Copies of this chain bind each other. A is one copy, B any other.
Amino acid sequence: MTPRRRRIPDATVARLPVYLQVLVEQADLGVDNISSEGLAELAGVNAAKVRKDLSYLGSYGTRGVGYEVAYLVYQIRRELGLDHDWPVVIIGAGNLGQALAGYGGFHDRGFDVVGIVDVDPDKVGIRLGDGDDAVEVRPVSELPRIVARSGVSIGVVATPPSAAQQAAEQLVAAGITSVLNFAPVVLNVPVGVTVRKVDLAVELQILSYHEQRRLSAAAPSGSTLRAVRP
């Protein structure tokens, strides 16, 4: 009854997809072996971190030689659960929802948008994406059926902020256990449901902070840009 493998640190889990991406690229270039130093360089991290991260997966390298690219790709994919495709459902077919449904980057990396739903009857029926991967916007009432039919466990919230909490509840009620939230609100979900949040404006706000610092670093010390204290 002991777990087969210790928990992998969050920080490592977040980097594994980056290593995977780099390794797949190298495999395509015909590279068979790579050292922690080489992988680190390409992934933009340091070599000790690469070795430590990979050591959580097991001892898959060869001392004096490095790591076999194809084998490492296989192991990282297996660890992340990427050895099979994942169906995904999107709730909210506005600007962003439509772009996500039509975004090839998901399908390319093993995620199939099997459904997109919206409350707005005017949006229902719109076809998004192309070829085999095209989906049609359906009413929210069909969410449970879509989830049940396709065995979806990952849902994407792409509604306006005011509708996001209800959307999340509808996803959870339909059986979704992982949520990717694009709405700028904090979602409340039952324990056991995993939420990740991507707030596009927040990313810009953080860049704004860095730009701001750059400006004040550049400003002369007697600058008029001084902070105002009450």
Which A residues are within 8 Å of any B CB, using their own CB?
A: 1, 4-5, 13-14, 16-18, 20-22, 42-44, 58, 71, 78-82, 86, 88, 95-96, 98-100, 102-106, 108-111, 153-154, 177-180, 184-186, 194, 196, 198-216, 221, 226-230
Give the Cβ gap from A211 to chain B, nearest Cβ, in Å: 5
How far apart sit A41 and B140, CA to CA, in the bound complex (Å)?
30
How far apart sit A69 and B208, CA to CA, in the bound complex (Å)?
22
How far apart sit A200 and B101, CA to CA, in the bound complex (Å)?
12
The interface residues of chain B lying within 8 Å CB-to-CB of A102 are: 95
Inter-chain contact A200/B201, CB cutoff 8 Å: no
- Known: A4-B227, A102-B95, A208-B86. Contact between A196 and B203, CB under 8 A? yes
Q: Which of B20, B205, B210 contacts A17 (CB 8 A)?
A: B205
Q: Which of B5, B80, B109 contacts A209 (CB 8 A)?
A: B80
Q: Which of B71, B80, B186, B230 contacts A43 (CB 8 A)?
A: B186
Inter-chain contact A200/B103, CB cutoff 8 Å: yes
Inter-chain contact B95/A18, CB cutoff 8 Å: no
